[in-house]
Chains A and B, each alone.
Chain A
C-alpha cells in the first residue's frame, strides 16, 4: 500500500511524454557522440570490416598536423575579422536604430533581412560579387580607374579567407543587431537624461552610459559570435571549399574532408571532438563570466 503510493508520487507515467524525444535524441545525438569518442581511438577507412585500435595515435598526430594548425589559425583570424565587421556593424546599426524616431521597425526589418538568407544563397551572391570577370568588385574597380587592383579574390591565397569572412559578416550581422537592439531597449532612460544634464556629447554618452549598461548583452553576443566562428562551414564550402592551398581552410571543412574525402574516419572523429571540447570550454567560460557579472 505504502509502496504503491510512493510509486504514484514518482509520476513515472511522465516518461511516456518524454520517450519519443528521448528516443530520437539517444539514437541520433547521444549514440553518434559516444561512437565518435570510440572511433577516435581507431584507424578506419569507413569500408574495411576491421577497425584497427591505435589508442591515442590520432590525437598525437593532430598535435603535429600542419594543416590543422593552419585551419585553427584561420578560425582565429575569422573570429577577429568578424568581430570587427559583424559586431561593429551590428552595434552601430542597433544604436542608430534605437535612436531613430521614425521608421524604426522598417530599418530593423530591412537591415535584418540578409540573415534570413541561407549561407548557401549568400555564398552564391558573394561568389558573383567576387567573380574575376563579371564580379561587382572588379567591374567597379575598373569603372573608377583602379583596374590594376582587380583580381580573382577567391582564388587568391592572401584574400580568400578575408573575402569569405566579409561575405559571412554581411549575412551574420543582422542576428547580432537584433540582440543588441533588445539589450539597448532595457537601458534605463533616466541614465541618458542624467548624462545630458552633465553635458555629455553623443560619443561620451555611448561610451559611459550605453556600453556599460548593455554589458551582459555584449558578453552573450560575443560568446555566440565566437562559437559560431569556430563552427563555420557552409559559406566557406560554398565559396572556396577551403582553398587555395588550405588558405581558407577552417576546422569544420577540414573535419569534413578528413572523414568523407580522405576516408580517415578515426582521425576525423578525433578532430571533431577536439573542436567540440574547444566549444564546450568556451561556453562554460562565458556562462561563468555571465554568472559573475550578474551575481
Chain B
C-alpha cells in the first residue's frame, strides 16, 4: 500500500519537472539559460514577463481569445438548450430522423468540412473577423446531445402541472426547465469555453491578421518571432498557462466527472 503511494509520488514529481524547468528558466536571461539550465535563477527577471505580455502581444492575443470564446459559449448554451429540450421532452414528427442527422455530425472530422467552410466564410465576408470564428463555432451536436440527456431525466409531472395551469410551451421551457438545467448548462459552458479557448486550426485558417488572432494562433506566431529569445518563450508559456491553471482550480471536478461520464469528446 505504501509502495503504491511512493510510486505515485515519484511519478507526480517527474510529471512536474517540465513545469518547474519552464518556470525557473522564465526568470533568467538568455546567457544564464545556457550556463545554468537547471538551477535557480541568480536574479529573478520579471521584465521577461512584461516584455512577453506587451511587446510579444500576449495580452492582445488573450483579449482576442476572450472576445471569441465568450460569445461562442453563450450562443452554444442558447442553441443547444433549445434543441436539447425539444429532443428530450417533445415527441414530434420526424424527431428521431432529425436527431440522428445531428448525431451523424459527431463523426465528421473537422478536416472534412474545413476547406469549403473557408470559402463559405469568404463569400459571407467573414474572413479576418471575430464573427467568422464565433458564428460557425456555435451549436454543435455535442451540446445538443448533452442537454437532451439532461432534460430527459427531469420528471414529466413538473411540466404537466404547468401545462394544466395554462403555461405556454416556451414559458415552460424558460421558467421551469431552464432553471432546473443549471448543472447541465454549467457543464456545457465549461466544456464549450475550454473548447473554444483551446481550438487552433479553425481560427488559424480564418484569421491571418495578427491583431485579431486568439492566443493559440498567436502562440505559434510568437514562437516563430522569438525563436532564439528563449527567456521570452519561457515567460510566454507560463503566462499562457495561468488562465488554464485558474480555470482548472475552479472547475477540475466538473471536468473530470464530465469525461468520466463519457460526456466529453476529446
Which residues of A are at the interface with B, using a C-beta cutoff of 8 A?
A: 10-18, 20-22, 24-25, 27-33, 35-36, 39, 46, 93, 96-97, 99-103, 107-114, 116-121, 124-129, 131, 133-134, 136, 139-140, 143, 170, 172, 175, 178-179, 181-182, 220, 224, 228, 231, 233-234, 237-238, 251-252, 255-256, 259-260, 265, 268-269, 272-273, 275-276, 279-280, 283
Q: Which of A11, A24, A101 contacts B139 (CB 8 A)?
A: A24
Within 8 A of A (CB), among B85-107: 85-87, 90-93, 95, 98, 101-102, 105, 107
B111 contacts the other chain (CB 8 A): yes
Interface pick from B41-49, B180-188, B232-240: B232-240
CA distance A118 to B256 in the complex (A): 16
Q: Which of B119, B141, B194 is packed against the most chain A CB atoms within 10 Å?
A: B119
B38 contacts the other chain (CB 8 A): yes
Contact B12 A20 (CB under 8 A): no
Contact A36 B82 (CB under 8 A): no
Can you name 10 A-B residue pairings with CB atoms under 8 Å?
A: A11-B92, A13-B92, A18-B98, A21-B144, A35-B116, A119-B198, A120-B216, A120-B220, A121-B241, A124-B240
CA distance A228 to B109 in the complex (A): 10
Within the complex, what minimum Cβ distance (angstroms) separates B124 from chain A? Answer: 9
User: Closest residue of chain A to B85, judged by CB?
Assistant: A17
Scoring B residues 184 to 208 as 1 if CB is less than 8 Å from chain A, else 0, what string do you get?
Answer: 0000000000100110110001000
A contact residues around B1 at 8 Å (CB): 99-101
Q: Check A10/B197 contact, CB under 8 A, given A21-B79, A99-B4.
A: no
B contact residues around A238 at 8 Å (CB): 200, 219-220, 223
Contact B5 A109 (CB under 8 A): no
A contact residues around B80 at 8 Å (CB): 21
A contact residues around B40 at 8 Å (CB): none
Within the complex, what minimum Cβ distance (angstroms) separates B41 from chain A? Answer: 14
Within the complex, what minimum Cβ distance (angstroms) separates A110 from chain B? Answer: 6
CA distance A61 to B131 in the complex (A): 37
CA distance A39 to B116 in the complex (A): 8
A contact residues around B266 at 8 Å (CB): 172, 175, 224, 228
Within the complex, what minimum Cβ distance (angstroms) separates A275 from chain B? Answer: 6
Within the complex, what minimum Cβ distance (angstroms) separates A93 from chain B? Answer: 7
Contact B244 A272 (CB under 8 A): no
Interface size on B, residues (CB 8 A): 89
Q: Which of B113, B115, B247 contacts A116 (CB 8 A)?
A: B247
Contact B237 A125 (CB under 8 A): yes
Contact A128 B92 (CB under 8 A): no
CA distance A139 to B101 in the complex (A): 53
CA distance A80 to B17 in the complex (A): 26
CA distance A105 to B160 in the complex (A): 41
Contact A231 B78 (CB under 8 A): no
Contact A31 B120 (CB under 8 A): yes
CA distance A24 to B108 in the complex (A): 15
Q: Which of B101, B115, B215, B244 contacts A36 (CB 8 A)?
A: B115
**6 smallest beta-carbon distances between A and B, as pairs:** A35-B116, A21-B83, A11-B92, A17-B86, A182-B260, A118-B198
Contact B98 A22 (CB under 8 A): yes
CA distance A14 to B86 in the complex (A): 6
B156 contacts the other chain (CB 8 A): no
Contact A93 B11 (CB under 8 A): yes
Contact B112 A120 (CB under 8 A): no
Contact A128 B105 (CB under 8 A): no
Contact A39 B7 (CB under 8 A): no
Contact A36 B259 (CB under 8 A): no
Contact B86 A256 (CB under 8 A): no
User: Closest residue of chain B to A36, judged by CB?
Assistant: B116
Contact B139 A280 (CB under 8 A): no
Contact A273 B112 (CB under 8 A): yes
CA distance A276 to B104 in the complex (A): 12
Contact B230 A20 (CB under 8 A): no
User: Closest residue of chain B to A278, judged by CB?
Assistant: B109
Given A14-B86, A117-B244, A238-B223, 17 other A-B residues pairs in contact with their CB atoms under 8 A: A20-B83, A21-B83, A21-B139, A29-B108, A31-B120, A33-B113, A100-B5, A102-B5, A121-B216, A121-B240, A124-B223, A133-B34, A172-B266, A233-B111, A233-B200, A233-B201, A265-B115
